[in-house]
Structure 1
């Protein structure tokens, strides 16, 4: 299944829900204020958010005037193009980790419990293994024995070594040992799983900051990616999570998990617009190969096809 087909699978519910309604809005003979009001309501209900919705509609309206667009399909095309532009976050960054050739690469993965973080890590490892890369996964979520066990099981499935300590151990020590193991084994990739206990925000922030320091002491350029796993079904709450983790550890990209489980998905626009954080990967199912590198145009085309 190619990228386009995976995106179609992932956004099927959103495509058949709010976006098909958006497209049909532009079937009308005339475009007036009633249409813009309905479009605003649809976008907000799809988790695009109030601020991003207002900005998106304003951009389309400006194009209607400047390009003298009169027909509904033309305006709908302008909307899609503005969505694509909004999803293309222009930030100074190294080559995306999925394409990077420098080794070893260190990916610090953060996110709240229940987002599908551990499975998302396994999907990344599976993808890198398919590229012929050796992968070490660090089980630094030491507060949940189940998280360690799950990572070990998934590591065995994908062919990645898992470095772990006993439950309750110091996460920083796990990370240190994982980086040492990666050096001694000449591993290509290190993916670090972390805790996500939002009910103790301050302690979690301190813990993540410490882990990042351990990584940076090992390699001043690392972590090469700080990847936030967000559950696409959480809606605007995902925006608050993104802000929180960005403040704590400087998120550089988002892995949007469970995209196939929501009839909305507009949160991607809000994240890119308000936080200027790029979506790097999307999860489109439960299988290990249900991972797709994010592409703005392919995503929007899948929504509308």
Structure 2
């Protein structure tokens, strides 16, 4: 009996404990606040069509004219202002003083020797050595000395002014003052009856100043009133096309170029084609610098000329020579003359050497005249060669 009462008491205690735990849990939960008692979300409204659809809201409509476009953030850069090259006429005379500074060793040396009281065999040998040192060449030197010696003996010329006049005459005779030194830029007519521009090929070895000479020649032609197209056929030198294009942009000449390492003949062909399309007066083609010892490269130069001639004849082939190379320039000239018919010579860096006699030697070697000379690094320091001004500079 006592055990039964004990069991009942334990059961009552257990029920009371469980009930207290439940009541305590409910008291810990805070009653919901007004903010938390939000209204239930409305069910989504399904879109309606047809008669049940609501009328669209009236909106103000704007025309294209009413729309204001935003201002450009950066204005387009203005086109570069074109330069006005200096006229070619008279450049040689203007640059004569600069030429005289580098050439006066030759003229002063010759006049000093000729002014000696006694012109014996030893003196004439010194005169000959002076001419050879100036790269006049063996043949022209011997001829010049023989003529001077004979005229001095016959005429009895002794005064400095008379000797200077005599030397001037003989030097001019060696240069050929009556030679045609015009850069021929007269166009023609193609087989299809189209006006064809004059075509000038610029050839030469690396480092002679070929691309620079092409750019300066463009300035000479523009100054004379010609429209010019440039062909950047030197595709093997990365900076050549960029350099030529910069020269062209300064005077408004269009530059035709191709991919780096591309076919030079193709670029030259396209340049002449562009010249025909644009009705240009002259197309200048800057060919790749060739080492005259590389047979394959020289053959490629011949190919450029043949491809260009599909449009018509080439008017000029100008060989660019560095005057400071002296007699080595004659070796280069001979090889180039065998590949393409050289019609004229552009002699660069003539102001930087005392060996101005190379003018005489290269003309005698090739049988073609020096037509252009470079007398400085300025953009207008390429001048048509004038023998009288050159000799006067030698004897200044």
Normalised by the size of structure 2, how large is the TM-score?
0.71
Larger % of helix: which?
1
1:225–1:253 CA contact under 8 A, matched in 2: yes
Aligned residues, how many? 299
Secondary structure at the counterpart of residue 377 of structure 2: coil
* Deviation string, structure 1 residues 3-35 (Cα, Å, up to 9, x no partner): 3131331342111x2321111112212222122
Q: What residue number does 1:250 align with?
A: 341
Secondary structure at the counterpart of residue 229 of structure 1: strand
2:210–2:289 CA contact under 8 A, matched in 1: no
Change (3 A) 1:197 1:273: closer
Q: What residue number does 1:97 align with?
A: 183
Q: Is the aligned partner of 1:236 residue 2:323? A: no
Aligned equivalents of 1:240 and 1:224: distance in 2?
Answer: 24
Secondary structure at the counterpart of residue 167 of structure 1: coil
Q: What residue number does 2:245 align with?
A: 152
CA offset at residue 299 of structure 1? 0.7
Q: What residue number does 1:186 align with?
A: 279
Q: 1:277 aligns with which of 355, 363, 368?
A: 368
Q: Which has the higher contact order (CA 8 A, sep 6+)?
A: 1
2:265–2:307 CA contact under 8 A, matched in 1: yes
Equivalence map 1:36-185=2 (5 Å)? 36-65=124-153, 67-71=154-158, 73=160, 74-88=162-176, 96-97=182-183, 100=186, 104-185=197-278
CA offset at residue 75 of structure 1? 4.1
* Deviation string, structure 1 residues 219-239 (Cα, Å, up to 9, x no partner): 1xx211110111111111111
Secondary structure at the counterpart of residue 135 of structure 2: coil
Normalised by the size of structure 1, how large is the TM-score?
0.91
In the TM superposition, structure 1's runs of 4+ consecutive aligned residues that sit over 6 Å from their partners are: none
- Which piece of structure 1 moves more, 294-303 or 75-84? 75-84
Change (3 A) 1:203 1:69: farther
Q: Which runs of 5 or more residues in structure 2 are unaligned?
A: 1-89, 189-195
Q: Is the aligned partner of 1:226 residue 2:317? A: yes
Secondary structure at the counterpart of residue 289 of structure 1: coil
Change (3 A) 1:229 1:199: closer
- Which piece of structure 1 moves more, 125-134 or 107-116? 125-134
Secondary structure at the counterpart of residue 169 of structure 1: coil
1:30–1:72 CA contact under 8 A, matched in 2: no
Aligned equivalents of 2:177 and 2:287: distance in 1?
Answer: 26
Aligned equivalents of 1:200 and 1:84: distance in 2?
Answer: 34
Q: Which runs of 5 or more residues in structure 1 are unaligned?
A: none
